[in-house]
Amino acid sequence: VIGLTIGTGVGGGIVINKKVLHGRLNAGELGHMTIKFDGRKARSCNNGDVEEYVSTRGIMRTAKGLNVKTPFDIYKLALCGNKKALKSFEETGFYLGIAVANFVNIFDPDVVIIGGGISHAWIFFSKSMKKTVKERAYVNKNPIIVKSKLKDAAILGAASLVKK
């Protein structure tokens, strides 16, 4: 299972054989994987990383030119059929699809779960994300990709680690 939480940043979790992959120091920094070699300047110094295209900051950069303050404003415009807002989410889905295809190629997960605040715009980015995954995944062209149904997944995950 690959879990992605998309909001202010992009967090990730990897579960293999029912065990969370912890790595040596910090496995799951999925948001810092490069998806565009000559891409946007990143805070992490890893220009073109996932966060620069699909996080809150990334979506705001993609929607440049819209008079908005938050991705929720873009979402509201998309609900009204605003072409620039719809295009922004379509582009977000494209870049998220590149990342998901890479994860699918590396881990061959049973399922990829997308959560976090940005996932509320699923209706606007999921089609382009899934199309990109299908085009770029090597073996599993149609992995199961779902929107998380958990409201507080990050908090629940953190609590489960403390509990152990």
- Summarize pLDDT for 88-137 with one digit per residue, the tens: 999 999 999 999 999 999 999 999 999 999 999 999 999 999 999 999 99
- Residue found under tokens 């199961």: 144
**Mean pLDDT throughout 13-32?**
81
CATH number assigned to the domain covering 2-155:
3.30.420.40
Ramachandran sector of residue 48 (left: φ over 0; alpha: ψ -120 to 50; beta: rest): left
How many helices (DSSP H) and strands (DSSP E) are in the chain? 6, 5
pLDDT at 161: 56
Lowest mean pLDDT segment, chosen from 44-48, 60-64, 117-121: 44-48
**Mean pLDDT throughout 133-149?**
92
Lowest mean pLDDT segment, chosen from 13-22, 51-60, 128-137, 148-157: 148-157
What does the DSSP assignment read for 110-122?
SEEEEESGGGGGH
Distance CA 63, CA 71 (A): 9
pLDDT at 15: 87
pLDDT at 26 over 60: yes
Average pLDDT value for the chain = 89
Q: Are 58 and 51 in contact (CB under 8 A)?
A: yes
**Mean pLDDT throughout 76-82?**
97
pLDDT at 139: 84
pLDDT at 21: 79
pLDDT at 72: 95
pLDDT at 154: 57
pLDDT at 50: 92
pLDDT at 163 over 70: no
Domain ranges within the chain, ordered by starting residue: 2-155
